[in-house]
Structure 1
Amino acid sequence: MKNLNYILIFFLILSSCSNFEEKKPLNDLFSQDYIRFQSENEIGIIDLDSTTNFLDLREKMGELTCLGKVSGLKFELNETRYHITGFSDCPTSGETGCYFRRNHLTIRNDSLIIGYGKEKEKKPINYLKTELNNIIEKPHNFKYNENKVKPALIHFYVEDNYPISTTINVLKEIAEQFSALNSKNDSDFFEYNILFVGYDISSIPPPPPPIPNEFNMD
């Protein structure tokens, strides 16, 4: 009986000691414009743990857009606290954004969509690193006379039946891959914005080829 008591006391001491161990502090990763929008009081914070799926998140983002606010998306994963800006249309506004001179990327659910039409391919989200490297290898994807890549516009759509964890994992990959590229170069070497959309933009067929001008025909 004495031995049993000693064993119980030993485990109680171990348990008490573990409670005094300090928790490992979380790392913070910010998207490039998060702090700027926050300092200008132009951001509204959404904790992704308070959302159920992509639709729920997009509705909350739309409300902030109607108030003239950028959405600041916050979540924790693997000992890192992420702070990412996102954009979504205001449902009561008829305005549409113009996004020229951009490197466009399309993400559906947890997949990166490459190409259009018959050449369209679906890649896992961890292929993003390869695709970003493919973009920066081509000179025409850079700003004129600058060692900076044209900003990326990421069209992001997730179907309603996917949990919010799908959205979180995709955002994590986006933030980490762009952060890794910019840490090797200037902090604004490759800027990006994430546009949260309510439809699969990759399913829209590309525009038809232009009709030849009869005066230019051989």
Structure 2
Amino acid sequence: MQWPVGKHLMKNLNYILILFLILSSCSKLDKKKPLYELYSQDFKKLRVDNEIRIVDLDSVSNFSELRKKMGQLTCEGRLPGLRFKSNDTIYHLTGYADCPTSAEISCYFRRNLLFVRNDSLVIKFGKNKKKEPIGYLKTELNEIMSKTYTFQRNENKLKPALIHFYVDDKYPISTTKRALKEIVKQFTKINTENSSDYFKYNILFEGYDISNIPPPPPSSTPN
């Protein structure tokens, strides 16, 4: 007469065990993984020197709003430091934007030029203008590193890259994040495998699509 009761008790114990396992699994899922932080070459140094002011990309809705904030900091004599989160990584980098009230014209010589529009890399110009997905950046950087004239004279370092960056306002800020993420990742990989200043880069946040103006052909002569 006791068997039915024992069988019922065993069923209850099984249910309790299953419920415990489910709750335990949920508890493990709720635990957040620690975020990895990735820094561009000059971010840490400039932050220590108190030369930068942080702009969180999640605080803006599009590229124009971001560039406006960066330009205001430039007018104040500060360098914009950019921060954003993507998946399990927080990215930290620096960028440049002209002060809208300044008549100064920035000049950049002896640079390896790159052009990013939205989340694409512009690699040809004029009638043959061609764009590749931003993931093509790795291939383009390898191409640059394979040419002798892209290096600094008598040094095992490349001329710094200047990245002209522009995003149409019809795209959300996530498009800007996606492009910046790929830039930071690829240059970090190159400089980790070589030396920290092997291939420096700057990102110039433009107010218009400069890729519509073809750049001069690269010089085949040394500096």
With structure 2 as the length reference, what TM-score do the two structures score? 0.85
Counterpart pick for 2:131 among 122, 139, 149: 122
State the SS of the aligned residue for 2:136: helix
Unaligned runs of 5+ in 2: 1-8, 217-223
State the SS of the aligned residue for 2:208: coil
Whether the 8 Å contact between 1:117 and 1:206 is mirrored in structure 2 is no
Letter in 2 for 1:168: K
Letter in 1 for 2:155: E
1:94 aligns with 2:127: no
> Which residue is equivalent to 1:70?
79
Letter in 2 for 1:132: L
Counterpart pick for 1:39 among 43, 48, 51: 48
Letter in 2 for 1:27: Y
> Which residue is equivalent to 2:113?
104
> Which residue is equivalent to 2:196?
187
Shift of 1:12: 7.1
Whether the 8 Å contact between 1:114 and 1:122 is mirrored in structure 2 is yes
The 1-side partners of 2:198 and 2:124 are apart by: 24
Letter in 1 for 2:46: F
Shift of 1:115: 2.6
Whether the 8 Å contact between 1:53 and 1:162 is mirrored in structure 2 is yes
The 2-side partners of 1:131 and 1:98 are apart by: 24
- Higher-Rg structure is 2
The 1-side partners of 2:118 and 2:56 are apart by: 20
Letter in 2 for 1:76: K
Shift of 1:96: 1.4
After superposition, residues 52-67 of structure 1 pair within 5 angstroms as 52-67=61-76
The 2-side partners of 1:196 and 1:59 are apart by: 10
With structure 1 as the length reference, what TM-score do the two structures score? 0.87
Shift of 1:78: 2.1
State the SS of the aligned residue for 1:170: helix
The 1-side partners of 2:99 and 2:25 are apart by: 52
After superposition, residues 1-218 of structure 1 pair within 5 angstroms as 11=19, 14-15=22-23, 18-19=26-27, 22-205=31-214
User: Identical aligned pairs, as a percentage?
Assistant: 57
The 1-side partners of 2:19 and 2:134 are apart by: 44
Q: Which range moved further: 185-194 or 20-29?
A: 20-29
The 2-side partners of 1:191 and 1:153 are apart by: 9
Shift of 1:13: 7.1
The 2-side partners of 1:58 and 1:206 are apart by: 23
Letter in 1 for 2:107: C
Evaluate the alpha carbon distance shift between residue 48 and residue 138 of structure 1 in structure 2; reply closer, same or farther with a 3 A threshold.
same
State the SS of the aligned residue for 1:128: helix
Evaluate the alpha carbon distance shift between residue 17 and residue 205 of structure 1 in structure 2; reply closer, same or farther with a 3 A threshold.
closer
The 2-side partners of 1:59 and 1:79 are apart by: 28
Shift of 1:204: 2.1
How many residues end up aligned between the 2 structures? 207
